[in-house]
Amino acid sequence: MAKEPEKLFSEAAKMSKECNLCREIALKVGDKTEYGAAIICRVGSKKDGWFATLSPKTGSNPEEDFTIQIMPFAHLTHFSQIDLYPKLAENYGRIFSKASRALTEVMMSEKKLEAASKKKDGAASVAIYGKCTTWLEKKEHLHIKIFPFRGNIGQPYTVDSSFGKKQAFRDDSGEEFVKMKPVRKVVLSEERFEELKDKLIRILEG
Ligand SMILES: [Zn+2]
């Protein structure tokens, strides 16, 4: 194999003291992290496992929307590294499926959404987002977000063909741009956060 890919794939997945996600691996389900997220699920061991948290903030409606983040316990920084650890890859599938199901169950029961809806509002739309890089400035512990795709968060993304179909405008300098609704992250109320945390943990442990 070429030298640089090999170097990346075999990078030591050692715990990093400077990494806030590495510091969360000892936390139990129900515990809170230093930035206010709550652990809602753990799958596998510290070597090959993943954990999921409920984020304290959302860029959408704080009364309805929320984000689940999934991360490996090991300090991996690139999706490509997962392939070196078959059990870790298997456990990714498990936590992704479990988190998706719990999120969907909460969304559907709270808003009475339908399994096959004729209307956008009645549908359970879910998206995931994650990225990785070898650019040192942005090289960080892998984390993937799962969230209801609605409100300001539910806008077409650059990879969607609907984004490419958006009308292009020109600013004063002649540069093209497309319109998007602004997204500002807001903190979920203490009550809502606790309610969601309990619901998600109940489903995930059931
Ligand atoms: Zn880390």
**75 Cα: distance to centroid of ligand 1 (angstroms):** 4
**150 Cα: distance to centroid of ligand 1 (angstroms):** 30
**22 Cα: distance to centroid of ligand 1 (angstroms):** 4
State the residue for tokens 């930035």: 35
**143 Cα: distance to centroid of ligand 1 (angstroms):** 10
Q: Report pLDDT for 98.
A: 98
**62-91: buried (b, 16+ CB within 10 Å) or exposed (e) per residue?**
beebbbbbbbbbbbbbeeebbeebeebeeb
Q: Report pLDDT for 206.
A: 83
**73 Cα: distance to centroid of ligand 1 (angstroms):** 8
**24 Cα: distance to centroid of ligand 1 (angstroms):** 9
**Long-range contacts at 197-201 (CB < 8 A, ≥ 24 apart):** 197/30, 197/38, 197/40, 197/54, 199/106, 200/40, 200/41, 200/54, 200/68, 200/102, 200/103, 200/106, 201/29, 201/30, 201/40, 201/41
Average pLDDT, the chain: 96
**161 Cα: distance to centroid of ligand 1 (angstroms):** 34
Domain that holds residue 137: 3-205
**59 Cα: distance to centroid of ligand 1 (angstroms):** 24
CB atoms within 10 A of CB 152: 15
**180 Cα: distance to centroid of ligand 1 (angstroms):** 33
How does pLDDT run across 61-78, given as a tens digit for each residue?
999 999 999 999 999 999
How many whole angstroms separate alpha carbon 43 and alpha carbon 11? 23
User: Is the distance from CB of 39 to CB of 200 less than 8 angstroms?
Assistant: no
Amino acid at 8: L
| pLDDT one digit per residue (tens) for the chain, 206 residues | 789 999 999 887 878 888 999 999 999 999 999 999 999 999 999 999 999 999 999 999 999 999 999 999 999 999 999 999 999 999 999 999 999 999 999 999 999 999 999 999 999 999 999 999 999 999 999 999 999 999 999 999 999 999 999 999 999 999 999 999 999 999 999 999 999 999 999 999 98
Total domains present in the chain? 1
Complex ipTM above 0.90?
A: yes
Domain CATH code at residue 133: 3.30.428.10
**14 Cα: distance to centroid of ligand 1 (angstroms):** 8
State the residue for tokens 């997204």: 183
User: Is the distance from CB of 135 to CB of 180 less than 8 angstroms?
Assistant: no
